[in-house]
Amino acid sequence: MTLHSSSAIIMRTWEFGESDLMVSFFTPKGGCLKGVAKGARKSRVRFANCLDLLCFTRLEYEQKKEDGLYFLHSGILIHAFPGLRADFSSLSLASYMIELTEILFPVGVAAERMFDLLQGALSALDEEKQIDSFRILFEAKAMTLGGYGIDLSRCCVCGRTYQGEGRALFRRGKGGIACLKCGQESERSPGLGPATVNALNAIQSTSWDTSQALGLSASMIREIKPVLKHHIEYRIGQRLKSAEFLSG
């Protein structure tokens, strides 16, 4: 069997048997994987502090033949993100990021860019508490990487190109915006100003570091939040459990 060595983010852990841990971990090349860390609950030598939830670590593992699980041989902690663990709002958002990642990229789906996004978002959240802004940045980027980007280029009803002027409204069934000639703003079809449309377009098309520098205004955040809420719930067909612990 081939021994793999990879950076990883610990997504979830479960007690397994008398002394083992079942671990869900996210890697750049393999996506979300599951493995067994033998004896991890009794001896911390091979996995010293590196299997805690949300830890950024480096793991050595090999695949079992029969069931798709992996044997975890050892791990080294790279970053524990203590800042986000010390704040309930930050920890809640981090948990939400993990859940959305698991839904968009199920077991075995390679997602190198998603790994970079998740790692960058956790690092930023560890240092700053911009909860609403970071949530929007992560949601918009994750949905785009998962193949569910919002079409902001033209009206999804009449096809007229959006020129960056005037308000638009979001149509969740179409996954795009519509002009005000083709609909009216409502709770189910929230409106977006031109500056907000441009900001959302930039978020979807740039890196995490670049999007952090956009400086979303309070009004942009207020307009984007309901759009992404409707978009995510419609596309994945459910409300994320971890969303209950987030405001808005």
Domain boundary among the residues 80, 95, 130 is at 80
Q: Please tell me whether residues 212 and 137 are part of one structural domain.
A: yes
| Residues 15/37, Cβ–Cβ less than 8 Å | no
pLDDT at position 42: 73
pLDDT digits (tens, 9 = 90+) for 125-181: 999 888 999 999 999 999 999 999 999 999 999 999 999 889 999 999 999 999 999
Q: What is the CATH number of the domain that holds 240?
A: 1.20.1440.120
Tell whether 214 is covered by a domain: yes
Q: Please tell me whether residues 121 and 241 are part of one structural domain.
A: yes
Give residue for tokens 């007690």: 15
Q: Please tell me whether residues 200 and 95 are part of one structural domain.
A: yes
How far apart (Å, rounded) are the C-alpha atoms in residues 1 and 89?
Answer: 42
Q: Please tell me whether residues 197 and 126 are part of one structural domain.
A: yes
Tell whether 159 is covered by a domain: no
Q: What is the CATH number of the domain that holds 43?
A: 2.40.50.140
pLDDT at position 1: 64
Q: Please tell me whether residues 91 and 208 are part of one structural domain.
A: yes
Tell whether 179 is covered by a domain: yes
Tell whether 162 is covered by a domain: no
Say how many domains are in the chain. 2
Q: Please tell me whether residues 19 and 128 are part of one structural domain.
A: no
Q: Please tell me whether residues 135 and 230 are part of one structural domain.
A: yes
Q: Please tell me whether residues 127 and 199 are part of one structural domain.
A: yes
pLDDT at position 161: 96
pLDDT at position 241: 87
Tell whether 172 is covered by a domain: yes
pLDDT at position 224: 97
pLDDT at position 175: 96
Q: Please tell me whether residues 202 and 123 are part of one structural domain.
A: yes
Domain boundary among the residues 58, 80, 102 is at 80
Task: Provide the domain limits for residue 144.
Answer: 83-151+167-245
Q: Please tell me whether residues 204 and 143 are part of one structural domain.
A: yes
Q: Which residues contact 57 (CB under 8 A, 6 or more apart)?
A: 7, 8, 9, 10, 50, 51, 75, 76, 77, 78
pLDDT at position 143: 97
Q: Please tell me whether residues 96 and 185 are part of one structural domain.
A: yes
Domain boundary among the residues 61, 80, 99 is at 80
154 half-sphere exposure, CB direction, 13 A CA radius: 6
Tell whether 42 is covered by a domain: yes
For the chain, residues with pLDDT lower than 50 are none
Tell whether 160 is covered by a domain: no
Q: Please tell me whether residues 18 and 43 are part of one structural domain.
A: yes
